Amino acid sequence: MNGAHPILPQNGLTVQRAQVENLYVEAMVLADEAHTAFAAARDLSRVATGDAQGSLLQIGLACESLKTTTRLMHIIAWLLHRRAMIAGDAGAGPNDSAARIGEPVTADWEICIQFESPVRRIIAASERLFERIAAIEAGWEAPVAATPVQAMLARLEARL
């Protein structure tokens, strides 16, 4: 196969490739920021509190760290699968489970509001990125409307 996706016209494939590459870079940067911010928050919470409230906050931080990491892993896996599909990899098809972003792993904002600003920003950014990916996926799966010229040609063809 020449690298072209069997369903997409070449110009649509070029746009998708660029979107996937840009989103991949964004996701990887966000994953690195998340790692750094959650590690720093864990270190600060260990030093700052020793009471029951502090222990609950540490548990909440650990849970939200896992949720954010899972969310980012789903995003990155989806992007890598799309990359493989665009490249024409025979092992990556549109019906694979990795071809769908799936349901979001949502943050518990009643807990997150207690975290420092950098951690909250990263959690929110990962949720927004997931929503963007889901919207892109939905748009890519939607039938492509015929342009006015294509519609006119189809009417002419039907008359002949």
SS3 sequence of the chain: CCCCCCCCCHHHHHHHHHHHHHHHHHHHHHHHHHHHHHHHHHHHHHHHCCCHHHHHHHHHHHHHHHHHHHHHHHHHHHHHHHHHHHCCCCCCCCCCHHHCCCCCCCCCHHHHCCCCHHHHHHHHHHHHHHHHHHHHHHHHHCCCCCCHHHHHHHHHHHHC
**Which pLDDT value is given to residue 32?**
98
- pLDDT in the model for residue 10: 55
Going by pLDDT thresholds of 50, 70 and 90, the confidence category of residue 69 is: very high
Q: Which pLDDT tens digit goes with each residue over 76-117?
A: 999 999 999 999 999 998 889 889 999 999 999 999 999 999
Whole-model pTM: value is: 0.77
* Domains of the chain listed by start with CATH number: 10-159 (1.10.8.930)
For the chain, give the mean pLDDT: 86
Q: What percent of the chain has pLDDT over 90?
A: 58
